[in-house]
Amino acid sequence: KAGVTQTPRYLIKTRGQQVTLSCSPISGHRSVSWYQQTPGQGLQFLFEYFSETQRNKGNFPGRFSGRQFSNSRSEMNVSTLELGDSALYLCASSPGTSGRDEQFFGPGTRLTVL
């Protein structure tokens, strides 16, 4: 089975722009979660989508949004980028029906905001 893929792997944007990141889960997985990883704040949960519905949400401003498509692929969008949004964005996929399901992480997208 192919693993979790994230595109693009690297991205450079300027303040005020918006960005869209993509995550393709493992085939058959219906849950996709997103995390932001920074040196200062560590790993923080953004949101989770399950069967095209947002099931959980972290404490991030409304500039961070996401969606999930019928094939379980997910996108996250950050509007009006700020310098502090520079981070490694990780997504994780799982079947999503039980807490015992293992979450598999993708390689991440490194976003740099200038």
Partner 1 sequence: AQTVTQSQPEMSVQEAETVTLSCTYDTSENNYYLFWYKQPPSRQMILVIRQEAYKQQNATENRFSVNFQKAAKSFSLKISDSQLGDTAMYFCAFMKHVKGGATNKLIFGTGTLLAVQP
Residue ranges that bind partner 1, judged by CB under 8 A: 31, 33, 35, 42-45, 48, 50, 55-56, 58, 88, 90, 92, 94, 96-108
Both tokens of 31, joined, read 């849950």
Of 11 and 79, which has the nearer Cβ to partner 1?
A: 11
Spatial separation of the C-alpha atoms in residues 57 and 51, rounded to whole Å:
15
Of 15 and 55, which has the nearer Cβ to partner 1?
A: 55
Of 20 and 37, which has the nearer Cβ to partner 1?
A: 37
Residue type (1 letter), 107: P
Closest CA to 95 of 35, 28, 33, 49: 28
Of 73 and 104, which has the nearer Cβ to partner 1?
A: 104
CB of 80 to partner 1, least distance (A): 25
CB of 29 to partner 1, least distance (A): 10
DSSP H or E segment with residue 65:
strand 64-68
Q: Edge-to-edge strand order for the sheet containing 5-7?
A: 5-7, 19-24, 74-78, 64-68
CB of 25 to partner 1, least distance (A): 11
CB of 101 to partner 1, least distance (A): 6
Both tokens of 87, joined, read 């981070």
